[in-house]
Amino acid sequence: MTETTAQRKKRGFFGAISLFFAQVIQELRKVVSPTRKELVNYWFVVLMFVVIVMIMVGLLDFVFGKVAVWSFTR
């Protein structure tokens, strides 16, 4: 629903704030909470992603550390 400029000015500052909160509540009513099974599945996916990224960062840190030691001891 679009509004004209005149309608926005007519509402005023506090009217705009109340419209904002009304729209926030309206959108929050559309939110659907995940089931327990979905939540556990999402948790597992996030955990695996974090572990994989930790391994990658650890390996890169190890390799760059060895390269730095090798380059400064030559």
Tens of pLDDT, residue by residue over 9-30, are 677 889 999 999 999 999 999 9
Residues 41 and 58 in one domain: yes
Task: Provide the token pair at 16.
Answer: 């705009």
d(C-alpha 42, C-alpha 34), whole Å:
9
CB 28 within 8 A of CB 36: no
Task: Provide the token pair at 44.
Answer: 């597992």
* 1: pLDDT strictly greater than 60: no
- pLDDT class of 74 with cuts at 50, 70, 90: confident
Over the chain, what is the mean pLDDT?
91
Tell me which of 74 and 32 has the higher pLDDT.
Answer: 32
DSSP type of residue 2: -
Parent domain of 55:
34-74
The number of distinct structural domains making up the chain is 2
Task: Provide the token pair at 24.
Answer: 């926030």
- For the entire predicted model, the pTM comes to 0.60
d(C-alpha 37, C-alpha 57), whole Å:
30
Residues 4 and 25 in one domain: yes
